[in-house]
Amino acid sequence: MSFFDDDEPTRVTSGARRPAQPRQPAARPATSGGAPPDAHTARTRRLFAIGAGILVLVVIVFAVNGCLDSRKERALKDYNRDVATIISASNDEVAKPLFEQLTSTDVSESDLAVQIRQLRITADEGVKRARALDVPGDMVSAHQNVMLTLNLRAGALTKIAAKLDAAQGRGQPAEKATNQIAGQMKAFLASDVIWSQRAVPLIVKALDDAGIGGQTVVESQFLPGYSWLAPQTVAAAIGGQAGSGAAGGAAAPGLHGHGIVRTQIGEAALGPAPASTTVPAKAPATVKVTFQNQGENVERDVDVLVRLTTPGAKPVTAKKTVDTTQPGEEVVVEIPLTQIPAAGTVGELTVRVASVAGEKKTDNNRQTYTILFGS
């Protein structure tokens, strides 16, 4: 017996020994989808996801393209509308009043100068508005011609305004300035050609290429007629003097021109200012102008103009055209004034025989008279 026999605890069992239990395999963690899909199912799901993604991408592409097409269409329409507004303003706010003023018998030479300078400012504003437009890429070529159209008009008005005072004078400087103004009328004609033959077709092409229908491109004709290219037409309109380059070719050799001999209202002979003449304040008052062909040539289509100015009232103007005048001949023209101011009014009557081609001496073509209208 060992020394430790008494100290070893006695092992007590409750019965027979239990046989060893076999080890269970470790359980896989549970998933919410149950058993994992087989390879076929997984592949199907992947293909479905890819197809859905492609479909979404196609829808996005179509949506983006649709937005871009809509934006492009809107930009082209907006451009056409904006250009139409600017060109219409050029027609209605510049060209129309310009030639109305030039052909009116109620506009003085000084008033005409003021009006043309104001129209030049309006034309410049049109150029600035066109320059500030948002131009679509498809309209770049068209816009270059739009700008050229507007620049030609504004530039011509600027030069006309600068030459107007000289053209309304007398002598060689007046002839030269009048011819230069007539030359600027060619710029108006060129602007019409560029607009109709270049700008309009390019705008239409851009709209057609984009499949945009139902759009109208505005028409524009700045110069009302070819007669404005002739210096004689310009001279008659501005109260100026045409040189030998007037319509119909160079003036015939020899002296040309007319001179005022006398002026009457009724039987009252008018004396040049500062003298005054009293005439009845009764309408109509007939102004009788006697003038002479003081040259060596037959002259044709000679205009005689009268203008009555009174304080606070609109000027009264009238004109008669004499078909022909013979060398040395005195011609009498009667021009009625249908509007006469009240008795006691003092007025200024200006009489002018328009200069003809080749005329050098023009200081006797115009006379001014002071009129006192009596009871």
Q: How far apart are CA 246 and CA 230, in angstroms?
A: 6
Strands 299-309 and 316-325, by their bridges, are antiparallel
Task: Tell which phi-psi region holds residue 369, choosing left (phi > 0), alpha (psi between -120 and 50) or beta.
Answer: beta
Closest to 359 measured CA to CA, from 163, 173, 175, 109: 175
Domain chopping of the chain, boundaries: 62-238, 258-374
What token pair was written down for 261?
């001999």
What token pair was written down for 182?
């007539």
Closest to 182 measured CA to CA, from 165, 152, 160: 160
Q: How far apart are CA 240 and CA 167, in angstroms?
A: 5
- Cβ–Cβ < 8 Å for 260, 365: yes
Q: How far is CA 198 from CA 124, 141, 209, 259, 300, in A?
A: 21, 9, 17, 49, 40
Beta bridge partners of 321: 303
Strands 366-374 and 276-280, by their bridges, are parallel
Beta bridge partners of 336: 286
Amino acid at 277: T
Token pair 């200069």 is found at 355
- Cβ–Cβ < 8 Å for 245, 348: no
Q: Mean pLDDT in runs of 10 for the chain (375 residues)?
A: 46 48 54 61 77 75 61 89 94 93 73 88 95 92 95 95 84 84 94 95 92 87 90 80 48 86 92 89 92 91 91 88 92 92 92 86 89 89
Helix spans in 90-171 (H): 96-103, 109-131, 140-167
Length of the chain equals 375
Closest to 291 measured CA to CA, from 255, 265, 330: 330
Q: How far apart are CA 122 and CA 130, in angstroms?
A: 13
**CATH number for the domain whose boundaries are 258-374:** 2.60.40.10
Q: What is the pLDDT of residue 193?
A: 96
Closest to 185 measured CA to CA, from 144, 210, 155, 211: 155
Q: What is the pLDDT of residue 4?
A: 44
Closest to 340 measured CA to CA, from 270, 279, 285, 264: 285
